[in-house]
Structure 1
Amino acid sequence: MRTLRYGIGGVGLALMGLGAWLTAGEPEPLGVLVWLAGALVLHDGILAPLVLGVGLLLVGRSRRGLLRGASVVAGSVLLVTLPLLVRPGAPANPSVLPLPYGRNLAIVLAAVAVVTGVLYLVRRRRDVPPR
């Protein structure tokens, strides 16, 4: 187990070194570092506490894992789409946002909710003993 741990740690350090080397080669490395700091703040300051809060709300509920999975999928889709929705002004290239992202986000979130509801009903029905 120790060998595996050191091996994974070594690969992680090598990838961190590669990332630092590639960042140093960027024309504006400060912009990359600001973006990385923003991602860290977004994850540790907003996303992780939100996921923990939802997890605390789901404690003791049946099908807790199903609801957690749906929350993770919906949150991931929302985080990927949100920068496209809140970006100020029109994009310089009209092909950047050729689709209505707000409507499509609503459709995907509705699909996640419907699939979660169907899975909940199927699992609930499966667990009910026949009369």
Structure 2
Amino acid sequence: MTAERRTEPAGAPVDGPWRLTGGWRVVRYGLGAAGLAGVGFGASLLLSDPLVRNWQGLARWLAAAVVLHDGLLVPAVLALAALLGPRWRRRLRWPFVVAGSVTVVALPVLLRPGATANPSVLPLDYPRGWAISVGAVLAIAVAWSAGRWALDRRGRRRASGARRSPDSP
């Protein structure tokens, strides 16, 4: 499977900026079909669920999610990326993705309405668990960056000939 860089003039009919050859076209269309099948399955479950009675509330919730994402989250991430610059963006991309994913998964228990009548429903300290998880991601990111920095520095020293000889004090 190969992907070749596009050489045709702009506007030529190709699959985007890369020409998909061989099995990549099959993979692309297969993943697209699987995604559409998943959306269709989810929509059929939603439409056939007898417990969903408040369609207007559901529509408002979905609209609010889109507005919050496109009006708050995306501009905040883009502004942070512009402030950080390309060097830091590369280093912080995966920690932000992982911490954001952990936060999205933890939001239901982080935003719970308070004490429940049954203490066994949410028995753990979920904010503490979330903080430990995000802290672990941050610690791994710092350790990874420090290791990369040390290896880069070591490689530059060797390349410049600044390596000490065993006879020097």
Pairwise TM-score range, normalised by the shorter structure? 0.7 to 0.9
Instruction: Give 1:16's aligned residue.
Output: 39
The alpha-carbon distance between structure 1 residues 79 and 14, as it changes in their structure 2 partners (threshold 3 A), is closer
1:61-100 to 2 correspondences below 5 Å: 61=87, 63-100=88-125
Could you tell me whether the CA contact under 8 Å between 1:81 and 1:105 is conserved in 2?
yes
Give the C-alpha shift of residue 33 in structure 1.
4.8
- Whichever structure has more strand as a proportion of its residues is 2
Q: Which residue of 1 aligns with 2:149?
A: 124
Coordinate RMSD, CA, aligned = 2.8
Tell me the TM-score normalized by structure 2: 0.61
Q: Structure 2: which amino acid aligns with 1:86? A: L
**After superposition, what is the alpha-carbon deviation per residue over 1:36-85, rounded to whole angstroms, capped at 9, x for unaligned?**
44443343333322322222222233x53221111121222222223312
Question: Structure 2: which 5+ runs fail to align?
Answer: 1-19, 163-169
Seq. identity, % = 47
Give 1:95 shift.
2.9
Further displaced range: 110-119 or 83-92:
83-92
Change (3 A) 1:33 1:111: same
Aligned with residue 40 of structure 1, among 66, 79, 84: 66
CA-to-partner distance for each residue in 1:77-108, whole Å, 9 max, x for gaps?
22222331222132354333221112112212
Greater share of helix? 1
Is there any run of 5+ residues in structure 1 with no aligned partner, and where? none
